[in-house]
Amino acid sequence: MSDLASQINKRRTFAIISHPDAGKTTLTEKFLLYGGQINLAGSVKGKATARHAVSDWMDIEKERGISVTSSVLQFEYDGFCINILDTPGHQDFSEDTYRTLMAADSAVMVIDGAKGVEPQTRKLFKVCGRRGIPIFTFINKMDRDARDTYDLVDEIEKELGIATCPVNWPIGSGKDFKGVYDRQTGEIVEFADTQKGTKEGTETRIRLDDVEASTAAIGEDAREQLLSEIELLDGASEEFDQEKVNNGKLSPVFFGSALTNFGVELFLEYFLKMTIPPLPREADAGLINPVENKFSAFVFKIQANMNKAHRDRVAFMRICSGKFEAGMDVYHVQGGKQVRLLQPQQMMADDRHVVKEAYAGDIIGVFDPGIYSIGDTICTPPDKFRYAGIPTFAPEHFARVRQVDTMKRKQFVKGIEQIAQEGAIQIFQESNYGMEEIIVGVVGELQFEVLQYRLQSEYNVEIILEKLPYEFIRWIKDVDTDLDSINGTSDMKKVRDLKGRPLLLFVNSWSIGMTLDRNDGLELEEYSEN
């Protein structure tokens, strides 16, 4: 295998998705531990500091009016080069969280064993599901009392609409948590709280068919129960099928406890075997092969104004093919120009550094003098293809925005259009109104504060935000539809986006159904693909 092919084939680029507090941060830390990036003692101590640092950074960013960085962590493990894409959760949940998923090849869904599927898991899953990428489930916090295992698995199947295949199976939970049964090897992996230990040699494996040893390890009752659960499972659950996993049709399920570091390495080892390296990606010129094609990438996120003194930005791009070398001349397809990617950076654990080379599967951040937009393609001349764009995701919060001083209309329009171009907010105009009053839509509510702050500090424009009750937005499929001709519900609003496409805003899902019923042939979409 050529060096390029082996570099690309060892890459595994994935996002971890979860509802806040399910254990995403803890699991990520444990992954880094196995990658040798941090030592465990340091991690426990470092965790508090890391958290602290995160919240400090948030305050600073908020003060500056910037959305929080979604970082990429790269580390090596067992011959693989792993890129973990962090998906901002908590208050900083935004459209960037969804866009990050466009740059991942697979996703790890962390679920709290006591809570099951939660709202944010559902939303993020939906985006992954649409892309058909492999989705792995890690059911966490088994050291605490968890819900019935069958119920949990059933809920994932029913609520998310994906088949599951438990790769291991928990033996009890909470105080009675004894470990997991590895269905592929027929071994019990005995639970031990390895939180304070080192990463080596703390997991004891015992064959379940060794009656004496396994009874001694987990007790007779637990063993009997496990045997009957396995029998049921073997009869009822889907068999492991790599093809289905690759297409996102079957989710391998694992159980563990990130906090006590139990089941994490077991998960990592299976996950790395079962997930995919960077695969060919669709572009207007056909499928682009990561190994055979020269360097190409697409922009999935723009981070504004990291340095307040300059209005500079960082464009994050996912490399889809070939090798990136610092200083190389590339072609920015949407800009129609040859450019050089300046100050390329990569995150290695918690350290940001300049990259000299990177490969398909990696994420780099480059200096953006204001030329890139989300979804843009960069290729190596003479190539000029474009990757399929990044969809516009439906905002979930809306507000009417007015400027206080109407004399500053120009700055207001400029500011708001620029911020929208970066992808932090979406703007809509009510039909028949100009830019005097506009409607802003965001995925996460923090973006309203960000908007207000940035308009004030960067454009010297004060605004008044009036929250609106809409929760659902739908693009009208036929963009030539005359908005006036639509016969909707009284609480519905007709608007257009920056590109002039017609949309409808609804207060509840009932109104959507009603509007569809009243307008023959009307087709509505939850996403806008271009």
**Contact window for ligand G4P (CB under 6 A) among 20-28, 357-365, 415-423, 454-462:** 20-28
Least distance to ligand G4P, CB of residue 257, Å: 4
Give the tokens for residue 18.
């979860």
> Please, which of residues 218-237 interact with ligand G4P by CB under 6 A?
none
20 binds ligand G4P (CB under 6 A): yes
Kindly tell me which of 71 and 140 has the beta carbon lying closer to ligand G4P: 140
Least distance to ligand G4P, CB of residue 378, Å: 32
Report the alpha-carbon angle 47-48-50, nearest 5. 60
- Dihedral sign of CA atoms 258, 184, 234, 217 in order: negative
23 binds ligand G4P (CB under 6 A): yes
Least distance to ligand G4P, CB of residue 37, Å: 17
Do residues 177 and 189 make contact, with C-beta atoms less than 8 angstroms apart? no
Kindly tell me which of 145 and 159 has the beta carbon lying closer to ligand G4P: 145
Do residues 357 and 341 make contact, with C-beta atoms less than 8 angstroms apart? no
26 binds ligand G4P (CB under 6 A): yes
How far is it, in rounded angstroms, from Cα 204 to Cα 178? 11
Q: Kindly list the distances between the CA atom of residue 155 and the CA atoms of 111, 114, 159, in Å, as whole numbers in the listed order.
A: 11, 12, 6
> Please, which of residues 78-107 interact with ligand G4P by CB under 6 A?
89
Kindly tell me which of 199 and 501 has the beta carbon lying closer to ligand G4P: 199
Give the count of beta carbons closer than 10 Å to the beta carbon of residue 372: 24
Instruction: Please select the residue that binds ligand G4P; options are 11, 24, 281, 301, rule is CB under 6 A.
Output: 24
- Dihedral sign of CA atoms 43, 45, 48, 54 in order: negative
Least distance to ligand G4P, CB of residue 28, Å: 8
Residues touching ligand G4P: how many (CB under 6 A)? 16
> Is residue 521 left, alpha or beta, with left meaning phi > 0 and alpha meaning psi from -120 to 50?
left
Q: Kindly list the distances between the CA atom of residue 345 and the CA atoms of 58, 325, 351, in Å, as whole numbers in the listed order.
A: 21, 12, 10
Instruction: Please select the residue that binds ligand G4P; options are 67, 121, 140, 392, rule is CB under 6 A.
Output: 140
**Contact window for ligand G4P (CB under 6 A) among 54-62, 140-148, 339-347, 395-403:** 140-148
Cis peptide before 382 (omega within 30 of 0): yes
User: Residue-wise over 108-137: b if at least 16 C-beta within 10 A, else e?
Assistant: bbbbbbbbbbbebbebbbebbbeeebbbbb
Give the count of beta carbons closer than 10 Å to the beta carbon of residue 289: 16
Least distance to ligand G4P, CB of residue 226, Å: 21
Centroid of chain to Cα 364: 16
Least distance to ligand G4P, CB of residue 302, Å: 24
Instruction: Please select the residue that binds ligand G4P; options are 9, 13, 18, 69, rule is CB under 6 A.
Output: 18
| DSSP 3-state percent helix, strand, coil across the chain (nearest 5) | 30, 30, 40
**Contact window for ligand G4P (CB under 6 A) among 36-44, 53-61, 136-144, 208-216:** 136-144
Least distance to ligand G4P, CB of residue 332, Å: 35
Least distance to ligand G4P, CB of residue 68, Å: 13
Token pair 């390495």 is at which residue?
265
CA end-to-end span of the chain: 38
Least distance to ligand G4P, CB of residue 70, Å: 13
Least distance to ligand G4P, CB of residue 344, Å: 28
Query: HEC states along 34-97?
Result: HCCCCCHHHHHHHHHHHHHHHHHHHHHHHHHCCCCCCCEEEEEECCEEEEEEECCCCCCCCHHH
Mask 141-180, x = binds ligand G4P (CB under 6 A)? x-xx------------------------------------
> Please, which of residues 30-89 interact with ligand G4P by CB under 6 A?
89
Do residues 106 and 136 make contact, with C-beta atoms less than 8 angstroms apart? yes
> Please, which of residues 374-393 interact with ligand G4P by CB under 6 A?
none
How far is it, in rounded angstroms, from Cα 95 to Cα 391? 10
**Contact window for ligand G4P (CB under 6 A) among 24-32, 215-223, 378-386, 440-448:** 24-32
**Contact window for ligand G4P (CB under 6 A) among 21-29, 150-158, 171-179, 377-385:** 21-29
Give the tokens for residue 108.
């790890």
**Contact window for ligand G4P (CB under 6 A) among 135-143, 363-371, 422-430, 440-448:** 135-143
Token pair 């806040």 is at which residue?
20
Kindly tell me which of 162 and 258 has the beta carbon lying closer to ligand G4P: 258
Least distance to ligand G4P, CB of residue 526, Å: 26
> Please, which of residues 243-262 interact with ligand G4P by CB under 6 A?
257-259
Q: With the CA atoms of 251, 253, 259 and 264 taken in that order, what torsion angle do they form, in degrees rounded to the nearest 10?
A: -90
Kindly tell me which of 141 and 301 has the beta carbon lying closer to ligand G4P: 141
Least distance to ligand G4P, CB of residue 114, Å: 9
Local structure of residue 302 (DSSP, 8 states): E
22 binds ligand G4P (CB under 6 A): yes
Kindly tell me which of 8 and 152 has the beta carbon lying closer to ligand G4P: 152
Q: Which residues bind ligand G4P (CB under 6 A)?
A: 18, 20-26, 89, 140-141, 143-144, 257-259
